[in-house]
Structure 1
Amino acid sequence: MTYLKPLFRHPKLPKNKLGYTLKEYEGTISTLCAGCGHDSISATIVQACFELSIEPHLVAKISGIGCSSKTPAYFLGNSHGFNSVHGRMPSVATGANLANKNMVYFGVSGDGDTASIGMGQFVHAIRRNLNMVYIVMNNGCYGLTKGQDSATADVGSASKSGHINPFQPVDLASLAVELGATFVAQSFSGDKQQLVPLIKAAIQHKGLAFINVMSPCVTFNNNPGSTKSYDYVREHMQATGTFDFVPERKAIQAQYEAGTDTSVALHDGTLMRLHKLAPEWNPEDRLSAVNAMQQARARNEILTGLLYINTEFGDLHDILDTSDTAFNTLDEATLSPGKKALEAINASLR
């Protein structure tokens, strides 16, 4: 078996505005189990970056430990990457982002990596509104260590071994909204039509964009009784609405019935158009989003789509009022203004 992709691609493959084909956004061949939902998520990231015409070398992928954290090797092979220790991805992403805010940051994590050992890191990344796309590939189990229940496994769900989980789950999407995340979405690895525009909007959002993706483990958690299996998720999905990401700053000429459609303007002028399906739900109203998720949980439904967005709150660099120029590009003269400047600072502190 080879782990190298063939170099040949059809000469008439579609190209984006940079003149790139999907080839420039691919990674190595996946070594995950055939049918793993994580590979589908990797493919949606490739598609989203291709459609947005993002320069691959301006992307940084940072992950922790787990099946999900292996996936950065499988997309955007021409970008930067750092595989950190278990649960510590947000710290590394924070340091990298503070040094160079001009990159597009993808934080890739799993339900064990975020909801257990990395919970504290997750909380503070949200609190600081770090400008990154934070994706959790959520399969409800520890796939690398043979399928034990993770902290997101639903109470009463059955593992492949027949064990019934007695504990309440950590609902990462609800928690993200409660903690003040400025972009919260939930999706299913098998729903590319929904996930691609969500990732594109997350990339354009200024601040932490959290996407919790149900991603069934075909080896250890795709059995009857599991609430993270392909069949269960497909049968219990309830979308907040259908989505269109509008990248161009052009007037939209269309007519819609009152109350059925809304548009959310992102920081750079791009739009996310939502056709609302969920009743009494407003993606820009935090309380409305919380209520919608709680009502879905009471009905044993998995609410997917854009759950909440806040475009008014600044990211970490805005909060800290950092330099307009990325720190890693500042020259010595700027960083060390000399003895007289130091003496003036010291005098002001006396």
Structure 2
Amino acid sequence: MSYLKPLFSHPKLPKNKLGYTLKEYEGSLSTLCAGCGHDSISAAIVKACFELSIEPHLVAKISGIGCSSKTPTYFLGNSHGFNSVHGRMPSVATGANMANKELVYFGVSGDGDSASIGMGQFVHVIRRNLNMVYVVMNNGCYGLTKGQDSATADRGSKNKSGSVNPFEAIDLASMAIELGASFVAQSFSGDKQQLIPLLKAAIQHPGFAFINVISPCVTFNNNPGSTKSYDYVREHIEATSALDFVPVKKEIRVNYAEGASAEVGMHDGSKIHLNKLRMDWDPEDRISVVNALQNAKVKEEILTGLLYVNTDWKDLYQTLNITDNSLNQLKESDLCPGTEELQHINEGFR
């Protein structure tokens, strides 16, 4: 069986403002199980970057270990990529970001990679408000090791072997909000209409943007009784809003169904239009969001959409008051202030 993509493409494929087709944003053929939700997320990332006309070579994809962490191979094949140690993706992303802030950073992780071995790193990258898009492909199980329950498996959920999980699940979206993430969203791999605008908004967000995507494992966790199966998610999903991302200087007319609407302005002038389906929720009020998530949990609903956004927070560069230039662009004259200035600095420590 060949895993090589054909070189031929139709000459009339749609092109973005850069003159690129979707082909320039794709990667290698996926070797994940047929029907895996992770492939749908990869396709959504491809579409989002294509529609935003992002140069592929200005993107860095960093992952850990797991089925989800294989996916950077399957999108943006012309961008930078680094597959790190299990649970340590945030450290590598932080180092890369501090060296070169000019890139768009995608951190790709799974529920095991972030909610178990990588929990400590997940917590601290949120606190630092690193400017990156952090995507968790959440299927509630360890797919690479044959389907054991992960830390995000819901209490009472039944895995493929018939075992019922007795432990409370770690809610990554609620944790991200509690720790101060400035952009938090939740979605379903089978809902590209919602996921693509969320990804576009996350890319444009000036700080840490977290998206928790429920992505059913078709091989080990798509059985009756699993709360991460396709059937269960479709039956229990509850969207916060219908949304569209409107880039700055580009007019998009959006028609929504009846209901209250809201508009969230982004730092660069772009906007997120929301048709609020839940009247008890405000995306700019952390308390409102936490209450909405808790109410959804009681009702056994999976709340999706843009949960929370704060456009006033400083990213890590601003917090540490680092030079405006990327560190990898600094010259010797920038790094060495001269003998007299060094003596003055040393005197300050005496």
Which category of TM-score, normalised to the shorter sequence, fits these structures?
Answer: over 0.9
TM-score of the superposed pair, with normalisation by structure 1: 0.97
Aligned residue identity for 1:75: F
Q: Distance in 2 between matches of 1:339 and 1:90?
A: 37
Q: Distance in 2 between matches of 1:62 and 1:175?
A: 22
The aligned residue for residue 270 of structure 1 is 270
The aligned residue for residue 198 of structure 2 is 198
1:218-248: CA deviation from partner (whole Å, max 9, x where unpaired): 0000000000000000000000000011013
The aligned residue for residue 233 of structure 1 is 233
Shift of 1:346: 1.4
Aligned residue identity for 1:272: I
Q: Distance in 1 between matches of 2:251 and 2:116?
A: 45
The aligned residue for residue 345 of structure 1 is 345
Distance 1:227 1:101, change over 3 A: same
Preserved CA contact (<8 Å) 2:21 2:50:
yes
Listed as ranges, the gaps of 5+ residues in structure 1 are none
1:191-222: CA deviation from partner (whole Å, max 9, x where unpaired): 00000000000000011100000000000000
- Identify the range of structure 1 (245-254 vs 298-307) with the bigger mean alpha-carbon deviation: 245-254
Aligned residue identity for 2:237: M
Shift of 1:280: 1.0
Give secondary structure in 2 for the equivalent of 1:213: strand
Q: Distance in 2 between matches of 1:221 and 1:139?
A: 7
Aligned residue identity for 1:53: S
Report runs of 4+ in structure 1 exceeding 6 Å deviation.
251-259
The aligned residue for residue 222 of structure 2 is 222
The aligned residue for residue 178 of structure 1 is 178
Matched, 1:304 2:308: no
Aligned residue identity for 1:95: G
Aligned residue identity for 2:286: R
The aligned residue for residue 73 of structure 1 is 73
Preserved CA contact (<8 Å) 2:66 2:144:
yes
Distance 1:254 1:183, change over 3 A: closer
Matched, 1:42 2:42: yes
The aligned residue for residue 118 of structure 1 is 118
Give secondary structure in 2 for the equivalent of 1:349: coil
Shift of 1:337: 2.3
Give secondary structure in 2 for the equivalent of 1:194: helix
Aligned residue identity for 2:201: A
Matched, 1:128 2:151: no
Matched, 1:282 2:269: no
Q: Distance in 2 between matches of 1:41 and 1:89?
A: 18
Give secondary structure in 2 for the equivalent of 1:219: coil
Q: Distance in 2 between matches of 1:262 and 1:268?
A: 18
The aligned residue for residue 64 of structure 2 is 64
Shift of 1:340: 1.9
Preserved CA contact (<8 Å) 2:243 2:272:
yes
Aligned residue identity for 2:309: I
1:290-329: CA deviation from partner (whole Å, max 9, x where unpaired): 0000000100000000000010111000100100000001
Aligned residue identity for 1:326: S
The aligned residue for residue 52 of structure 1 is 52
The aligned residue for residue 326 of structure 1 is 326
Q: Distance in 2 between matches of 1:257 and 1:142?
A: 39
Aligned residue identity for 1:225: G
Q: Distance in 1 between matches of 2:175 and 2:138?
A: 14
Distance 1:193 1:257, change over 3 A: closer
Give secondary structure in 1 for the equivalent of 2:177: helix
Shift of 1:338: 2.2
Q: Distance in 2 between matches of 1:25 and 1:321?
A: 34
TM-score of the superposed pair, with normalisation by structure 2: 0.97
Aligned residue identity for 1:207: G
Q: Distance in 2 between matches of 1:161 and 1:296?
A: 28
Shift of 1:335: 1.0
1:141-170: CA deviation from partner (whole Å, max 9, x where unpaired): 000000000000011110000011010000
Q: CA RMSD in A?
A: 1.6
Q: Distance in 2 between matches of 1:255 and 1:12?
A: 29
Q: Distance in 1 between matches of 2:180 and 2:173?
A: 11
Shift of 1:259: 7.2
Distance 1:57 1:140, change over 3 A: same
Shift of 1:348: 3.1
Q: Distance in 1 between matches of 2:257 and 2:4?
A: 51
Preserved CA contact (<8 Å) 2:246 2:252:
no
Shift of 1:347: 2.4
Preserved CA contact (<8 Å) 2:147 2:220:
yes
Listed as ranges, the gaps of 5+ residues in structure 2 are none
Give secondary structure in 2 for the equivalent of 1:249: coil
Q: Distance in 2 between matches of 1:27 and 1:253?
A: 32
Give secondary structure in 1 for the equivalent of 2:348: helix
Shift of 1:258: 11
1:253-299: CA deviation from partner (whole Å, max 9, x where unpaired): 88999971111111111111001001210000000000000000100
- Identify the range of structure 1 (331-340 vs 106-115) with the bigger mean alpha-carbon deviation: 331-340
Q: Percent identity?
A: 74
Aligned residue identity for 2:101: K
Q: Distance in 2 between matches of 1:319 and 1:53?
A: 29
